[in-house]
Structure 1
């Protein structure tokens, strides 16, 4: 009920803000766009919090899922502006399709929020899983150390990466992350896969 009320409030606030943005010019329109972006972020936080509180993340029935398909759907949902996505060594994996898409959406959302607009993201099949790599500025060391079995700390960037962890562990996958100033690489292993061809999505 609380989530329903919060979403209704956000919908009303977004609607009035959009109407206001249509009737003003710069710089006021820019200010209102910033407000809209903040409302979108609030809705994301509500969704992520509910996912963890209600489900923890619960893994449903597994099916054969093509990585390129679920990756592209997640990319289109998050829509990083000038960023590019490359998918190499495509795989078919046994996974909860909805949760796998959620994993990618949260990784892509992290890229969108913390990397330059023209960042390049690669999703690549590995011998026993897949990896997601970006050309962003890298994650702070305290966040890297807290992920995938590390100590939970205040350095986490929100709930998105925690959901990524929960989706991976719920499937029984192993997760790891490497990050420096040239980019970040998340790798997930313990997944049965077969190879497919290369795709590039602008």
Structure 2
């Protein structure tokens, strides 16, 4: 009986914590949808006017960035409202996706070392979201000249950097919604990483990188070659 009571209490605590995190994510998603979509639409309108006056590859890059922002907002809203659901899984070439994600990371001095050639079964958009959040997190904490390595694991892949790393006593906290040690951080990047992983029934953990930084390992990933 005491074991049943203890289990029920732990279950209620876990449920309460999950509900709290979901409420935080829903609130953040609402802010994103209302406070970002309007200025984004203005920016897109100005971009079209600029294209009528100028022909530049830089404007094409701005358009691609706008498209990605639109997609991220949609995904964030879906993630907040649908929880652990993912769309249809498809074969995703990790090497190509990693390079594409790197193009959306705001750093000119950083270095990407991609050593992954496998194809995984995943929701492409959600996996892209996971990778970009890990890359942005590395730049945010490791600086603009950070080196990020994406490589293969047995049953998955890893993303590591040569930044300051994450102390042992903070490694459980970093995945909580709203937790951030950066002054301008939203605190939702790594929470989204965890939710995307769990939505695929993957496991994510953080450990030390080979160069002293942070290393995120995602396992339980189905490869098309398996």
Q: TM-score range by the shorter chain?
A: 0.5 to 0.7
Alignment partner for residue 98 of structure 2, among 36, 60, 71?
71
Equivalent-residue separation in structure 1 for 2:154 and 2:32 (angstroms): 41
Cα displacement string for residues 26-47 of structure 1 (whole angstroms, at most 9, x for unaligned residues): xxxxxxxxxxxxxxxxx89x94
Per the alignment, do residues 91 and 8 of structure 1 end up closer, same or farther by CA in structure 2, a change over 3 Å counting? closer
Task: Specify the SS of the correspondent of 1:61.
Answer: coil
Alignment partner for residue 216 of structure 2, among 176, 186, 200?
186
Equivalent-residue separation in structure 2 for 1:179 and 1:81 (angstroms): 25
| 2:12 paired residue number | none
Structure 2 unmatched runs, 5+: 1-29, 45-68, 182-186
Q: Is it true that 1:60 corresponds to 2:90 in the alignment?
A: no
Task: Specify the SS of the correspondent of 1:101.
Answer: helix
Structure number with greater Rg is 2
Aligned residues: 165
Q: In proportion to residue count, which structure has more strand?
A: 1
| TM-score, reference length from structure 1 | 0.68
Q: Is it true that 1:123 corresponds to 2:153 in the alignment?
A: no
* Displacement after TM superposition at 1:115 (Å): 1.1
| 1:101 paired residue number | 128
Task: Specify the SS of the correspondent of 1:77.
Answer: coil
| TM-score, reference length from structure 2 | 0.61
Per the alignment, do residues 147 and 193 of structure 1 end up closer, same or farther by CA in structure 2, a change over 3 Å counting? farther
Which runs of structure 1 show a deviation greater than 6 angstroms over 4 or more consecutive aligned residues? Answer: 12-15
CA RMSD of the aligned region, Å?
A: 3.3
Cα displacement string for residues 1-60 of structure 1 (whole angstroms, at most 9, x for unaligned residues): 875541255449989xxxxxxxxxxxxxxxxxxxxxxxxxxx89x948635433325311
Task: Specify the SS of the correspondent of 1:177.
Answer: strand
Structure 1, 138-147 or 161-170: larger mean CA deviation: 138-147
Q: In proportion to residue count, which structure has more helix?
A: 2
